[in-house]
Chains A and B, each alone.
Chain A
């Protein structure tokens, strides 16, 4: 077993910063109304002298302009679940700890390569999403968690070296039960190594079985007992904008972030999305929905963003937007398009499915289609969009251009080249036709497909051209 732990120390702040286009000072505040204190501050705010634990009133005395946003506990849990869905891409055993995600990676290394490579992939994913993190690997989940509190990037790959690595971890950072952390330093015990060397009976008498169980989970003598994370079946992400937005172009940046999050989530569950909804929320619960539908499931972030932007540009905002919500319920399996090994197409070719989506995004949903035959002998109904039944090829001559509506033949008498072919059907559905079809040559020499009333050979109507 090898567990990787990713500790996310500033989830709430990163969740806001990642969709904020500016670097102006920003702090998160918490506490009772009359005693608000700073719980998190960005780089610009820290450079100006604000720090965690400072009273808001003291901060306002230091710096005249900064943004103060209430700390949102719910957002922390939401971001943690979202990041667990991202990490799910690398392992099926993912668990949540407070401000941390642990995942079992020994089985994943066969696919992704040894730990250093896997570590850099994980780090790249989290950095791209805009979350600061610390990472460590250890044979037990809790040990990995403890190691991230001490340093970043430590990797303990075997159970034999684990005790060594834990030796010098200070008690204050050991994540043991709170009563032990409070009492042990006053007994002169300052590191985990010293605790592990103590006789177990004495520890049990003094601190109860809970401390021993924690130590055993740390060293791997007890299983970790963590509940496995299961990714949700729908994607629902809502972000509140920091200002009221009246112009679509100001929505592009947050939408790009949201669509990237959707792509990361889809990669995590190895799926695609076929249809998603972008809900622009206005004041008093009113909203505008922008639906993005695709012909086939996709999961590439840049593509999904291109389609979403194409749809968004056609929307006129009736009133300012306060929040955005991205809802994706239709998440079918993603089947990557098959490519021939000896494909002669240019290397940067855009697959035909993505080309169709691009055309649809600008020209409209019904603008790109394929035609197929139906079983109906009436020429008006003999073809339909996207039907590909195995209909045998028509034995009678058919033109290459079909007129939407037949037009009367003008000019002199035509020369009959072939025919007649009688089409008499449709009496059951109200679309009755009774016609004799001929291939004719008009007086101008064009070859046409025309019909007239049965057995009459006058009153010609042209229905197609043999172009």
Chain B
């Protein structure tokens, strides 16, 4: 044993197998909620994909979920488009959450034009994130949005009623929000990972 072989040479020759856990593809879009990031396979929102958020009723914490992401994007000089929101965004409240409102475009689209406008924004490639509240969206419409999100490399968020949970969806991520008194988030579908068994409590607004 007088020939000393350096370890690196063995590794370079791929003669030694190193046991290592498969790498989780780490995304670049953290949600801003550490507990949620830890649970999602990409460590955050699935990039350039459609995320569906299912709600029992408007105003139960859906904005709390996405505003940290929007704040990060707008501060990075990226544009965010809100398509036909159910209520007017409160500028003072959004600014308190760190958003740069000069980067937030609000689009008032009629019932028939919501999906069209959302798809145009996603496809344009100039929006980092598009939030939409479609009234009627079937599987085909959502698939179009998913394709548009890939084309334009944008985050798409679609907010829908919880009753759509039983229908299959082409979204890469489906989250369900549970209303108070026990506000929590259920991951119902996530591409590239197992669906977690427990819910995450949705933190309250800190005053």
Interface residues in chain A, defined as those with a beta carbon under 8 Å from any beta carbon in chain B: 344-346, 348-352, 354-356, 358-359, 362-363, 366-373, 379, 382-383, 388, 393-394, 397-404, 417-418, 439, 441, 444-447, 464-467
A370-B105, A446-B59, A467-B59 as given contacts; A400 in contact with B67, CB under 8 Å: yes
A352-B79, A362-B113, A401-B87 as given contacts; A371 in contact with B104, CB under 8 Å: yes
Cβ distance A444 to chain B, nearest Cβ, rounded Å: 6
Return 12 A-B CB contacts under 8 Å, by A number: A349-B125, A359-B117, A363-B108, A370-B105, A371-B88, A371-B104, A373-B91, A373-B92, A398-B93, A445-B179, A446-B179, A467-B64
Cβ distance B87 to chain A, nearest Cβ, rounded Å: 4
Q: Which residues of B contact A465 (CB under 8 A)?
A: 58-59, 87
How distant is the Cα of A388 from the Cα of B101 in the complex, in angstroms?
A: 9
Q: Which residues of B contact A370 (CB under 8 A)?
A: 101-102, 104-106
The answer to whether B101 touches A358 (Cβ under 8 A) is no
CB-CB nearest in chain A for B177:
A467
CB-CB nearest in chain A for B79:
A352
CB-CB nearest in chain A for B110:
A363
The answer to whether A349 touches B126 (Cβ under 8 A) is yes
Encode B96-136 as 1/0 by CB contact (under 8 A) with A: 11000110111111100100110011011111000000000
CB-CB nearest in chain B for A345:
B125
The answer to whether B125 touches A346 (Cβ under 8 A) is yes
A362-B113, A373-B95, A444-B180 as given contacts; A400 in contact with B63, CB under 8 Å: yes
Choose from B67, B91, B117, B124 the contact partner of A371 (Cβ within 8 Å): B91
How distant is the Cα of A121 from the Cα of B169 in the complex, in angstroms?
A: 52
Q: Which residues of B contact A346 (CB under 8 A)?
A: 125, 151-153
How distant is the Cα of A354 from the Cα of B127 in the complex, in angstroms?
A: 12
Q: Which residues of A contact B5 (CB under 8 A)?
A: none
The answer to whether A467 touches B58 (Cβ under 8 A) is yes
Q: Which residues of A contact B88 (CB under 8 A)?
A: 371, 383, 401-404
Cβ distance B205 to chain A, nearest Cβ, rounded Å: 5
Most B-side CB within 10 Å, residue of A359, A441, A464:
A359
The answer to whether A348 touches B125 (Cβ under 8 A) is yes
Which of chain B's residues 176-190 have a Cβ closer than 8 Å to chain A? 179-181, 183
The answer to whether A363 touches B109 (Cβ under 8 A) is yes
How distant is the Cα of A404 from the Cα of B86 in the complex, in angstroms?
A: 11
Cβ distance A45 to chain B, nearest Cβ, rounded Å: 46
Q: Which residues of A contact B205 (CB under 8 A)?
A: 397, 439, 447, 466
How distant is the Cα of A465 from the Cα of B62 in the complex, in angstroms?
A: 11
The answer to whether A393 touches B93 (Cβ under 8 A) is no
How distant is the Cα of A367 from the Cα of B85 in the complex, in angstroms?
A: 12
The answer to whether B127 touches A401 (Cβ under 8 A) is no
The answer to whether B89 touches A359 (Cβ under 8 A) is no
Cβ distance A169 to chain B, nearest Cβ, rounded Å: 56
Q: A400-B67, A401-B58, A445-B181 are in contact. List 7 more A-B contacts (CB 8 A).
A: A345-B126, A350-B123, A362-B117, A368-B105, A369-B106, A401-B87, A466-B64
A358-B120, A372-B91 as given contacts; A439 in contact with B207, CB under 8 Å: yes
Cβ distance A438 to chain B, nearest Cβ, rounded Å: 11
CB-CB nearest in chain A for B152:
A346
A346-B152, A351-B126 as given contacts; A418 in contact with B207, CB under 8 Å: yes
How distant is the Cα of A370 from the Cα of B74 in the complex, in angstroms?
A: 13
CB-CB nearest in chain B for A353:
B126
Q: Which residues of A contact B116 (CB under 8 A)?
A: 362
The answer to whether B125 touches A397 (Cβ under 8 A) is no
The answer to whether B92 touches A394 (Cβ under 8 A) is yes
The answer to whether A393 touches B63 (Cβ under 8 A) is no
Q: Which residues of B contact A397 (CB under 8 A)?
A: 93, 96, 205, 207
Cβ distance B23 to chain A, nearest Cβ, rounded Å: 22
Q: Is B165 at the interface (CB under 8 A from chain A)?
A: no
The answer to whether A355 touches B126 (Cβ under 8 A) is yes
Q: Which residues of A contact B61 (CB under 8 A)?
A: 467
Q: Is B94 at the interface (CB under 8 A from chain A)?
A: yes
CB-CB nearest in chain B for A371:
B91
The answer to whether B120 touches A403 (Cβ under 8 A) is no
Encode B145-169 as 1/0 by CB contact (under 8 A) with A: 0000001110000000000000000
Q: Which residues of A contact B126 (CB under 8 A)?
A: 345, 349-352, 355
Cβ distance B100 to chain A, nearest Cβ, rounded Å: 10
Q: Which residues of A contact B79 (CB under 8 A)?
A: 352
Q: Is B9 at the interface (CB under 8 A from chain A)?
A: no
Q: Which residues of B contact A382 (CB under 8 A)?
A: 91-92
Q: Which residues of B contact A348 (CB under 8 A)?
A: 125
Q: Which residues of B contact A373 (CB under 8 A)?
A: 91-92, 95, 101
The answer to whether A345 touches B96 (Cβ under 8 A) is no
The answer to whether A399 touches B93 (Cβ under 8 A) is yes
CB-CB nearest in chain B for A392:
B95
